[in-house]
């Protein structure tokens, strides 16, 4: 018996990194899972790995029609929707304000906010009618950057602070019918990619060779967690039996950064 037996979740960005780990953990806990994934190859890999327990829609989280399509495909396959996980995201690779030239800052802001914030909001709106039917829930993937400086550059940090606000606002708006919560992981080596606007779209966090050492150095727990180690709080929040009174809450799973804050080891150009 799992904590999510007979439930259905829809996870954005479920083809790699934390999203892929969430798909696997939710299935292990008894759920069937719909995925909205932008990469067709990763979508095929998900279907091959999880078979009838998953249905994958290839699309763009910044397009409302694609979010609606993912909801409709999930309902068509599994008949209901209990949890929507807004997980898809991109990263600014710690680029500091002074490093942006000309219109690059505006372009980077628009590109990153469209995925990290607008994508989650559009997905929540698309999923809402089905979640109302089941008394379901929404979970946003935040970040330590939603609470402390140094977890990204100003654009990424702004996006994650905005998502903290979304959790609180939507928890207020959607109660008592739909619970809304978040999980704020610390860093991890994943395929989280950068921005076209800054020429980093082809880069990802797993390529930073010093990332593990950096994370061990800044976290009180002295660890560099793997994506699967961040999944349990999502399961808890998705479980109606175990989280019925919980809404407007963000679980910080950042290795204890809240006890100390982030030491600025990532740098960024100083003035």
Domain CATH number, residue 64: 3.40.50.720
What number is the average pLDDT over the span 67-90? Answer: 98
Look at the block and give the residue holding tokens 């798909």: 23
Average of pLDDT values for 70-91? 97
This prediction's pTM: 0.94
Check if 156 is active-site.
yes
Mean pLDDT rounded to a whole number for the chain: 93
Q: What is the pLDDT of residue 262?
A: 65
Pull the structure tokens for residue 270.
């100083």
**Which position has the higher pLDDT, 149 or 1?**
149
pLDDT attached to residue 58: 98
Q: What is the pLDDT of residue 271?
A: 60
The first and second tokens of residue 45, run together, are 């890999």
Q: How far apart are CA 149 and CA 21, in angstroms?
A: 26
Q: For the chain, give me the number of helices (H) and strands (E)?
A: 9, 7
Quote the pLDDT of residue 207.
Answer: 82
Establish if 269 belongs to a structural domain.
Answer: no
In a domain, 199, yes or no: yes
In a domain, 186, yes or no: yes
Residue 238: half-sphere exposure toward Cβ, Cα within 13 Å: 34
Distance CA(210)–CA(228), nearest Å, equals 20
Each residue's pLDDT tens digit, 167-218:
999 999 999 999 999 999 988 878 788 899 999 888 887 788 888 888 888 8
H helices present in the chain, as ranges: 17-28, 40-50, 64-78, 104-113, 119-134, 154-174, 211-218, 232-238, 240-243
**Residue 267 maps to a domain:** no
Number of domains in the chain: 1
The residue from 100, 148, 156, 230 that is catalytic is: 156
Residue 49 placed within a domain: yes
Cβ-proximal residues to 168 (8 Å cutoff; 6+ apart), any chain: 248
259 SS3 class: helix
Whole-angstrom distance, CA of residue 267 vs CA of residue 263? 10
In a domain, 265, yes or no: no
Mean pLDDT, to the nearest integer, of 223-231? 92
pLDDT at 268 over 80: no
Per-residue model confidence as pLDDT tens digits over 98-141: 999 989 999 999 999 999 999 999 999 999 999 999 999 999 99
Residue-range definition of the domain harbouring residue 227: 8-259
Q: Is residue 155 part of a domain?
A: yes
Q: DSSP for 97-146?
A: GGG--TTHHHHHHHHHHIIIIIHHHHHHHHHHHHHHHHT-EEEEE--GGG
Residues with Cβ within 8 Å of 248's Cβ and at least 6 positions away in sequence, in order, are 167, 168, 171, 172, 180, 181
Residue 3 has pLDDT above 90, yes or no: yes
| Per-residue model confidence as pLDDT tens digits over 207-219 | 888 888 888 888 8
* Best CA proximity match to 35, nearest among 27, 45, 25, 46: 46
Structural domain includes residue 25:
yes
Which pLDDT tens digit goes with each residue over 141-154? 999 999 999 899 99
pLDDT for res 270: 46
User: What does the pLDDT read at residue 263?
Assistant: 58
């Amino acid at each position: 018996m799992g904590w999510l037996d007979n439930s259905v979740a829809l996870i954005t960005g479920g083809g790699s990194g934390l999203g892929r780990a969430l798909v696997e953990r939710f299935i292990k806990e008894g759920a069937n899972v719909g995925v909205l994934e932008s990469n067709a190859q990763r979508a095929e890999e998900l279907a091959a790995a999880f078979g009838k327990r998953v249905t994958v829609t290839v699309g763009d989280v910044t397009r409302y029609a694609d979010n609606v399509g993912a909801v409709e495909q999930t309902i068509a396959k599994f008949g209901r929707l209990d949890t929507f996980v807004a997980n898809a995201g991109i990263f600014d690779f710690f680029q500091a304000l002074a490093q942006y030239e000309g219109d690059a800052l505006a372009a980077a802001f628009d590109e990153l906010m469209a995925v990290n914030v607008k994508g989650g909001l559009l997905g929540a709106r698309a999923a809402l009618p089905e979640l109302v039917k089941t008394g379901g829930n929404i979970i946003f993937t935040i970040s330590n950057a939603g609470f402390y400086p140094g977890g990204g550059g100003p654009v990424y940090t702004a996006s994650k602070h905005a998502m903290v606000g979304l959790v609180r606002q939507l928890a207020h708006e959607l109660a008592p019918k739909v619970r809304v919560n978040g999980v704020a992981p610390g860093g991890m080596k994943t395929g989280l990619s950068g921005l076209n606007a800054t020429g980093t779209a082809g880069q990802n966090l797993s390529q930073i060779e010093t990332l593990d050492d950096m994370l061990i150095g800044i976290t009180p727990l002295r660890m560099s967690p793997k994506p699967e180690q961040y999944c349990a709080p999502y399961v808890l929040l998705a479980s109606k039996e175990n989280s019925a009174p919980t809404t407007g809450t963000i679980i910080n799973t950042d290795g204890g950064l809240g006890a100390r804050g982030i030491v600025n080891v990532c740098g960024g150009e100083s003035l």
